[in-house]
Amino acid sequence: MPDRGGGPTGPRIRVGRPSRRVRTLLMTLGVLAVLGMVFTMFAGFWTDWLWYRSVNYSSVFTTTLWTKIGLFFVFGLLMAVAVGFNIWLAHRLRPPLSAMSMEQQNLDRYRMGIAPYKKWLLLGITALVGLIAGASASSQWRTWLMWVNGVSFGQKDPQFHLDVSFYAFDLPWYRFLLGFGFAAAILGLIAAALTHYLYGGLRITSPGARATAAATGHLSVLLGIFVALKAVAYWLDRYGLAVKSSDFKATDSWTGLRYVDANAYLPAKTILFCIAVICALLFFATLWRRTWQLPVIGFGLMVLSAILIGGLYPAIVQKFQVQPNEQAKEAPYVEKNLAATREAYGIGDSQVTDYPGTATTKDQAKLRDDVSGAASIRIMDPNIVSPTFQQLQQIRNYYAFPTNLDVDRYPKDGKEQDTVIGLRELNYNGIPKRNWINDHFRYTHGYGAVAAEGTTADSGGRPAFTESDLPSKGDLGTYEQRVYYGERTTTYSIVGGPQKEIDYSDDSGEKTYSYQGDSGVNLDNPVNRAAYAVAFGEPQILYSGAIGEGSRILYNRTPKERVEAIAPWLTIDGDAYPAVVGGRIQWIVDAYTTTNGYPYASRTTLGDTTADSLTATNDQRTVVAQQNQVNYIRNSVKATVDAYSGEVKLYQWDTQDPVLKTWMKAFPDTVEPRSEISQDLMDHLRYPQDLFKVQRELLTRYHVKDANTFLSGSEVWQVPDDPTNKTGETVPPYYLSMKMPDQQDQVFSLTTTFTPNGRDNLSAFMAVNADPGTEDYGKIRILKLPTSTTVSGPKQVQSQFNSQQDIAETIRLLRGGDSEVEYGNLLTVPLDGGLLYVEPVYVRGGGLKYPLLRKVLVTYGGQTAFEDTLEQALDKVFGGEGTPVEPPADEGEDEGTDEGTTPPPSTEQPSTVQEALNDAQKAFEAGQEALKNNDWEAYGRAQKDLEDALRRAEAAQSGGAGGARSSPSADPSASPRTNS
């Protein structure tokens, strides 16, 4: 080596090659590392295959896998060929001799440096772009399967008169192909340009021509391909206008063509398509003309046209044609949007009827008799009483109930009854001693269902259990009670081997059990054990003596998780609920098919529209969406997951849904026909909550059918916030057996309320028939209240409750000591033209810290009652003894002087009222002491004393204060308005 440093050099030190032993060790480590990486990849693949085979849905795994592999290799190869061919062609077209210039002399060093490695460099570049393109294409497996298996909707869009399937199934695939084509053209152009520059075909600073004729022709063809693809993009953009989302003041999310789209953008896209075609031909003509003058001019004109025709012209049309007369211009397009949106979300047949909001009869006795026929009023709130179930029915610390229980129907004395139900699932945090054996071998399952009547409570305010104890017994009969699959089973268990499981404990001691089902994956095979040891990062699976003959590993155990894995093309409802069906506990999971390609139908964001006050505090109730932005949804599949065996069954529910038919073609024999649903299972199916929440959100705007009313925004509603908590989220819908005005009998329903946009008074009440056993299942009924009168909404009703002096005083007493008051679901029931509001009130008292039903709030027709039981409260309201209330002023309304309003009575109270309140306080404290001692007899006496004292206080107040029932001191913001 020559001395380039110019200074003296020291003695050279010869570095010897590593010894044979070191080289062998390094090679061995390298081979082991490669084998480890390969086995890790194999373990993930192998365990997935074993799991799908164990649930008998291996066809889902293979179809998905081969589709991804096919897309990966096809599009990866196409991209590699496109880039590699252009590099090879540019090298082939290089000039024989390069002009001797400084630029070329500098490039000679690079040409000489890569000369020995040209083939390897070419292979490396093409392999890299191929891998990236293939990986990107494999993620489009859903798009490919929907395109190749798409079936007709049988409906055409109003603009281009194409079947909806073109927009839902075809257009997304065409857009993917177009995007891939653009990527291939751009990468090929860049690769060719760099190669031409490296080998002298393109020059930047050298004198003479900047490009050889061969380079000019090659690059022109590539530019022509790019411009031709742009022409295709302009043509597809025409159809894309039918599914394009844009801002529109009449709605938050507008989809479809508006006036400016149909009369400016649409012709502009057609003109730009023609210009792009001509420009592409000019680039192709460069092969013969060998000059870029015309193509460059054409390309410049295309860019200028895109700015003027595609941007400026539509803005001028919007400014000078649409805005001066927007309502008349947009009305025809709004009508198309209204029709498409109502059809896409299944709300087209919603029945909107006027409802007076006030009682039509004065016969209080008749109204009282009609209450029982109007609804089976559920005072057991499934979102409140879970801690009560936990305290009274947990039995062992390693069991637990879900945060939110479920509402179902079960027969009682020959008729269906709304029932609150939950499963006693395994609680890992309650395991006495946490270790690997206990967590995964000993404690493996929950045990039994616990149910209670939804409409009653016992004398102590506890749920009236219809199924209880351990093992559970009661009205549900005999069934397999072990719960190996549930909402809380989020880790794996190894069952069926030499290690016995804890089944349950009773007075005679601990019972053991060994799993008898065929669920899970067999671990007899050492390869399987090694694969799971790697996949789960748990080496003990490989060598533990607790695993032996018959051992099976159970995982993916939550119902939603299993259904999502088996049907990855479905969107899963946030609330899976259990039901005892045919002697088994079955989890019932509602699933949806969706698309965002329904023309003219406005989009919605599932994560936002399905959020409410329950999802804010319980992420287990969150929808599992494959596609968050959608504009078409159907509850097309009902799924069941066996709590013991984990068996999953998918049933076709919507037999007309073309999206489901498409997926059934892609994954044959995965969905069973609707006729396979047993009657026992049918009795427990219901209308899903997340679909209802999406529909109610859309109906805040799309309940109107008139375009002018829609544009004016005068009839826009909103879903009110939940008045019973402080999350700031919307009120959840409630399941309730009730009767709408046009119905003859009570029907299991899902209900909600609406308020005007920005106000708190009631504007509408909505209910959907949630019972599949009836003819009009899924029919949405909306009772629209008059805008000329004010009917109290949920927030105002809650305010009225809180502002009543006697109620506020009782609430204060109930909160005494370390007790907490919780408001249950505020139920709304239509009754004889008016609206009956019922709200249970729970108290967490003493050291028990679980809610017990203590009071029931009822209001109807301006009369309010706050009693120990629902029957007492109804008797008081309809007996004319309820407290009359004045609705609080609407938000934004002047709360000052109302002419003719009588001044409020004096709030000074006679001493007898204070004495009665003192007695009430003593009775309350006695009740709390009884609670601490679990002395229910003493607690009952204290409750009676408390009730008597409050009645004496009320009587004294009415006699000594002129019948006043409210006081500004209770809640100043809700006090009656007075003369100033």
| C-beta of residue 613 within 8 angstroms of C-beta of residue 255 | no
Residues in CB range of 223: below 8 A, 6 or more apart? 189, 283, 295, 299
- 96-129 CB burial, b ≥16 within 10 A, e <16: eebeeeebbeebeeeeeeeeeeeeeebeebbeeb
Torsion region of 130: left, alpha or beta (phi above 0 gives left; psi -120 to 50 gives alpha): alpha
Closest CA to 483 of 453, 525, 513: 513
Q: Name the 3-class secondary structure at 885.
A: coil
Q: How far is CA 237 from the centre of its chain?
A: 30
Cis ω on the peptide bond leading into residue 96 (within 30° of 0)?
Answer: no
Closest CA to 593 of 664, 488, 527, 641: 664
Torsion region of 400: left, alpha or beta (phi above 0 gives left; psi -120 to 50 gives alpha): beta
Tell me, what DSSP letter sits at residue 450?
Answer: E
Provide DSSP, 920-941.
HHHHHHHHHHHHHTT-HHHHHH
Residues in CB range of 150: below 8 A, 6 or more apart? 165, 168, 169, 170, 662
What is the Cα gyration radius of the chain? 36
Residues in CB range of 137: below 8 A, 6 or more apart? 71, 72, 74, 75, 76, 176, 180
Locate 559 and state its tokens. Answer: 């119902």
Identity at 190, one-letter amino acid code: I
Closest CA to 525 of 536, 517, 516, 533: 533
Q: Name the 3-class secondary structure at 230.
A: helix
Q: How far is CA 61 from the centre of its chain?
A: 24
Closest CA to 750 of 772, 728, 729: 772
Tell me, what DSSP letter sits at residue 973?
Answer: G
| pTM value > 0.95 | no
Q: What angle do CA 668, 674, 675 make, to 5 degrees?
A: 115
Locate 467 and state its tokens. Answer: 């199924």
Residues of the chain with pLDDT under 50: 1-15, 887-910, 960-980
Q: What is the pLDDT of residue 351?
A: 93
pLDDT in tens, 166-208: 999 999 999 999 999 999 999 999 999 999 888 877 777 665 5
- CA dist 506 and 435 (Å) reads 24
Tokens 């109620």 identify what position?
A: 807
Q: Name the 3-class secondary structure at 638.
A: strand
Q: Name the 3-class secondary structure at 264.
A: helix
| C-beta of residue 950 within 8 angstroms of C-beta of residue 883 | no
Beta bridge partners of 493: 554
| C-beta of residue 117 within 8 angstroms of C-beta of residue 222 | no
Locate 701 and state its tokens. Answer: 């705007």
Q: What is the pLDDT of residue 942?
A: 76
Q: What angle do CA 337, 342, 343 make, to 5 degrees?
A: 100
Closest CA to 459 of 955, 865, 947: 947
Give strand ranges (E) for 145-297. 245-248, 251-255
- CA dist 640 and 96 (Å) reads 72
- CA dist 217 and 106 (Å) reads 26
Beta bridge partners of 501: 513
Residues in CB range of 380: below 8 A, 6 or more apart? 420, 452, 453, 454, 455, 456, 457, 463, 840, 853
- β-bridge pairing 629-630 and 604-605: antiparallel
Tokens 């009110």 identify what position?
A: 720
**186 CB-side CA count, 13 A:** 8
Q: What is the pLDDT of residue 7?
A: 41
Q: What is the pLDDT of residue 115?
A: 75
Q: How far apart are the first and last CA of the chain?
A: 105
Strand order of the sheet with strand 406-412? 406-412, 415-423, 449-457, 463-468, 473-474
Q: How far is CA 440 from the centre of its chain?
A: 31
Length reported for the chain: 980
Provide DSSP, 847-865.
TT-SEEEEEEEEEETTEEE
Neighbours of 8 (CB within 10 A): 6
Number of H helices, E strands in the chain: 29, 36
Neighbours of 717 (CB within 10 A): 24
Q: What is the pLDDT of residue 437?
A: 94
Q: What is the pLDDT of residue 180?
A: 97
| C-beta of residue 427 within 8 angstroms of C-beta of residue 642 | no
| Greatest Cα pair distance in the chain | 119
Q: What is the pLDDT of residue 916?
A: 73
| C-beta of residue 639 within 8 angstroms of C-beta of residue 616 | no
| C-beta of residue 591 within 8 angstroms of C-beta of residue 429 | no
- CA dist 424 and 643 (Å) reads 12
- CA dist 130 and 135 (Å) reads 8
